[in-house]
Structures are given as structure tokens and as C-alpha cells.
Amino acid sequence: MPPASTFICNRTVKKRRGYYSEQDVFLSPCPYVYGEGGMYESTYYGVFDLSNSKYITVPTSTKYEKTATRVYFISGGSMITSSNGMKQAITLELIPDPNIIINDDLGVISDSCSINYRIPDSNASVKFDVTEKLNGVVISKKNYAVDGNYTLNITDEHLSTLSFNSTNNITIELSTYQGGKFLEKTVTFTKGNTKPKLDISSYNSTFATFTAIDTDNNLSKIEWFIDDVLKETITTDLYLEKTINYELTDNAIHTLKIVATDAENATVEKILSISKEIMPLQTDASLSDISTKLIEIGEGFKNGKTSIINTLALKNIEASLNNTLVELSEKIKASFDSGDASIEDLTNKLTQANNTISQLNSKYKVASGNSVVNSCVNKYGFYHGSDYLFLFPGAIQINGLNFVPNIFFTTFELIDSGYFRKFFVFACRGIFTQDFVITAHYHRLETYLKDFKVEGEVLKLNERDVYMDNRGIQLPCQRQGSSFKWQAIKFI
């Protein structure tokens, strides 16, 4: 029985609310299986001339039809034009909107904080992007979002741009790549008074250097005390670095207290222990803490630091507590004076190092492994810079990564039918304006040691069946069944 003169390809397309083009909802080429399951089963492909104008409104538009400009089938690896026609009829179905669950009034926010909210969604097949805005300015964006709990972070930098007692808006927008924004919710908060901060850069038995910081720019005074006796009240140049000088008359341990106050009477204070002869350990450091910390970092300190570690390791703390405190203080004082370092310096550097390591661990990730090129059916990708589809029969499929890579690459080689063949797949996400994947096949005669011939494709990434996102990795690759080693890197 000959094929029908015109094939009708009926498709149901689910979309979120928004504005779409023909390229967003129709397929080109569109496959149609004639005589499925029968003796004469064959697949025809219709090519359609599709507009990129966003005139299709979901959910207003429900049915659309397009007639193919060309129909072909594949025989012997070649595309053969068919005399048949094809019509693609689509029914658009609206995916129900998710919800954004967050308090309408967040109250008073004075300091940096995290705001939790939830987005329940009944459809996980079509992901969306979440854009977070503060007073209309984007402060964060989350791509490929699904049903789940989310956190919006308000930093001191964000708050520093807001006026005291001002009412401010936080807007959460949901959008899709094709259809644009389809849902938003705006909530409010009042900018409260942010407490001042004190940064002590250095101190010893004769002076202390510090800076007062206030994001609201409403500092009113700075006071400093020795043993709770007020020594000075500063009311000018409050935001400049300050150095205060004092004289201790005995060898006792004294208390230096610095207090910063703003116009709303919010205060912050720093209390330091100082001594004329021996700078004592601060109240939040135990002998065990200091011993452990010095042993950990001891090898990195020269010019006398080794003797501190040996002393701490060999002392019997329980035997003579008072004598041991004096001995430890003298040893620490002499050694740190020789190296221009203080316990506070070491603590600050260790904190900075730990913060840097944590940031690097979250930002940079690397993974590698071995896998096999899998066979696949009816998998398509868009050619880069085009809306034509590429049908790929084999794919690299990687699952189980705990991050989304920026770079993925693999290469493998083999000898087949007298030819040396090298295959190469390279995917790039979030670096350039357009994400892409390159799949290439280099080949030459095994006995010919010069130029290669090459064939391959450049495809759009994270469109249709070609992706590298939270779902995992699926990239086109020839030579199904071939083994390969891959590398994945995240650095953004």
C-alpha cells in the first residue's frame, strides 16, 4: 500500500505561561513513522519554515498547524526527497503555575541574613529560572530550578545601599528560556539600624589601632576605657583609622575596652587584655587551644618559633599551673616579639585561610571517570546558530555528579578497517554568551602519517536532548560501544 499523500503529525506540547515563537513549539525536522510495526514501516522527516517571532501566547493559543516545505527519508545514509507532504498539528497545554511561598512582610532587617522560601511545582519536566531582585536590581539567579526550598541572601553590602527606616522590595521572578517571565512575587521589609563594627588591626602594651565601621553612616561617638575608667570620647573623623595611646604603671593585667555608638544608640564593644611587661592570652583561648594551634602551624614559623612548640609539647601543665603560665607567657612574648606576630595575628590568618579554602572548595570542582558511548533512539540537538535539528544515534551519558561542570571533554582513539580514528567531544557551559558542544571525528589511513580528515558538528547545549545541567550530562558522540575517559571541571 503506497504512503498517504500528506502525513499528519499530531503533537501535544506542554509549556509554561508565556510568549513563544513557532521555533519554540514546532519541530523541524519533524519525524513521522509510517506503517509503525508493519512490514513497510519507515520514517519520514518534514522540514518546516518556522518564525522566531514570539506571537504564540500560552495559555490563550491552544492549537496550531504548519505545512512542511519539504519531506524526506533516509536511505543508505543519504537524504531522499519524498513527493509526500506533511502537516504538523500541535495542541498547546498549559503547565500549571508553581507557587512562591514567602512571607509578604519580612519585618525589620538590620544585618545580613538568609531568607528562606519555597516553590512547590507539580511538573518537574520543564525547569525554570529563579531571579531574585532587591528594589528592582538583580542580586542572584538560580538556573534550572525545580520544586524545592530556596534561600535568598541579604548581605551587608546590599544593606549599605539602603536608607535607615526605608521600605524596600524583594521580588522573586520565575521564567523560562523560551517563554520569558511567567510568575513573580514581591514582598517588603523595613531597613533597620545596623550596629557598628570595630576592626582592631593591632594592639600592645602602649597603643591600639582600630577602625569603626557603620553601614548606616550614623556613628555618633567612640569611647575607650582602661579598667572601666573612661579615657577619651572621640566625636570627629569617626570613620578614619584611629590610634590610641596609653601608659600602664604596673605589671598587672589590665582591660582595654573600645565602644562605638551610633545615632540610634546601638553599640558595639571590643575588650582586650593588656599588660606592661607580658601580653596575656585572651579570655577565649585555653592553654590546650594555644598549644594545639601552635603545634599545627609551628613548622611554618622560623626564627625562634620552634622553641615555642617544644616548650608547649614538653610542659606538664597540671604540675605547676602558675609557673607554667608565666613560663608560657614569657616564651610566647619573646618569640612573637622577634617575629612581629601576635596571637591575634595568627588567629586572623588561620580564619582567613579557612575561609579561602572553603570558598575554593565550593567554587572549584573536578571529576573524571571511564564510560562507554551508549546507543540512543530519537535524540535530537539543534545545530549552533541554527534551528535545524541533528539526529544523533549515540551519546555520552554521565549521571551522579554533585555539581554542574563548566567544561566537559573526552577523547578516544581506535584503529578500524585500516584507518586511525580519533574522536573528540568538548562541551562548554556558562562561559560564553552561547553554551555549545563540539563533537568531532578525525581520521586518516593507518599508514599515512600526515594530515587528518575531519567531520563533526557544533550544537547548542541545554536544548532538546543535548544537555549538561542538573539532570546530568548527555552529549552526542559517534562510535557506540566505544570506551572513553572523561574529565569535568567547574570553576565559576
Kindly give the pairing relationship between strand 6-15 and strand 85-94.
Answer: parallel
Tell the residue number behind the cell numbers 575608667, with chain if given. Answer: 229
* pLDDT, tens only, 370-426: 888 888 888 888 888 877 788 888 899 999 888 899 999 998 888 877 778 889 999
Tell me which residue of 421, 396, 394, 379 sits closest to 485, measured CA to CA.
Answer: 396
pLDDT at 342 over 80: no
- pLDDT tens, 36-64? 877 878 899 999 999 989 999 998 878 89
What pLDDT does residue 449 have?
66
472 within domain boundaries? yes
Residue 446 has pLDDT above 90, yes or no: no
DSSP string, 323-361: HHHHHHHHHHHHHHHHHT--HHHHHHHHHHHHHHHHHHH
Q: Shortest CA distance to 269 belongs to which of 225, 238, 206, 333?
A: 225
- Identify the band that residue 468 occupies on the pLDDT scale cut at 50, 70 and 90: very high
Is residue 207, in this structure, part of any structural domain at all?
yes
Rounded Cα distance, 16 and 126, in Å = 8
| Nearest residue to 234 via CA among 242, 225, 222, 226 | 222
Residue finishing a domain among 274, 308, 338: 274
Q: 137 and 220 share a domain?
A: no
User: Do 374 and 346 fall into the same domain?
Assistant: no
Same domain, 374 and 471: yes
Q: What is the dihedral of CA 385, 389, 393, 395, to 10 degrees?
A: 40
Bigger pLDDT: 474 vs 478: 474
pLDDT at residue 350 greater than cutoff 80: no
Q: Indicate if 403 and 306 belong to the same structural domain.
A: no
As a whole number, mean pLDDT of residues 141-152 equals: 91
Q: What's the mean pLDDT in 179-206?
A: 92
257 and 210 in a single domain? The answer is yes
User: Which among 434, 314, 319 has a CA at the least distance from the CA of 384?
Assistant: 434
313 and 268 both lie in a single domain: no
Phi, psi of 114 (to 5 degrees): -115, 135
Q: Is residue 357 part of a domain?
A: no
* The last residue of a domain, from among 297, 327, 352: 352
402 with 481, same domain? yes
How far apart CA 70 and CA 47 sit, in angstroms, is: 5
Task: State yes or no: pLDDT of 98 exceeds 50.
Answer: yes
Q: For 312-330, what is the mean pLDDT?
A: 43
**Residue 485 falls inside a structural domain:** yes
User: pLDDT tens digits for 248-269?
Assistant: 888 888 899 999 999 989 899 9
Q: Which of 395, 413, 390 is nearest to 484 (CA)?
A: 413
Rg (alpha carbons) of the chain, rounded to whole number? 34
Same-domain status, 216 and 264 = yes
Helix (H, G, I), strand (E, B) or coil at 134: strand
Enter the pTM of the model. Answer: 0.51
Range of the domain at 144: 105-191
Residue 311: the pLDDT is 44
> How many CA atoms within 13 Å lie on the side-chain side of 338?
13
Residues 13 and 57 in one domain: yes
Pairwise pLDDT comparison (129 vs 309), residue with the higher score: 129
Residue 17 lies in a domain: yes
Residue 264, phi then psi, degrees to nearest 5: -95, 10
Q: Quick one: 109 and 147 in the same domain? A: yes
Mean of all residue pLDDT scores within the chain: 82
Element (H, E) at 393: strand 389-398
Q: Which residue in 134, 97, 99, 92 sits closest to 113, CA to CA?
A: 134
* Whether residues 476 and 369 fall in one domain: yes
CATH of the domain at 257: 2.60.40.10
pLDDT for res 317: 34
Read off the pLDDT of each residue in 129-156 and give the average, rounded to a whole number: 92
Which 3-state string (H, E, C) describes 298-333? HHHCCCCHHHHHHHHHHCCCCCCHHHHHHHHHHHHH
- Which domain-ending residue is among 150, 170, 191? 191
The count of domains in the chain is 5
Q: Which of 36-45, 154-163, 167-176, 427-436 has the highest mean pLDDT?
A: 167-176
Q: How far apart are CA 308 and CA 294, in angstroms?
A: 8
Pairing mode, if any, of strands 219-226 and 229-234? antiparallel
Is 415 inside any structural domain? yes
Same structural domain, 376 and 473? yes
Which of 7-16, 97-106, 304-313 has the lowest average pLDDT?
304-313
Asked if the structure places residue 360 within a domain, the reply is no
Mean pLDDT of 480-486: 86
Per-residue pLDDT band for 7 (boundaries 50, 70, 90) equals very high
* Residue 397 lies inside a defined structural domain of this protein: yes
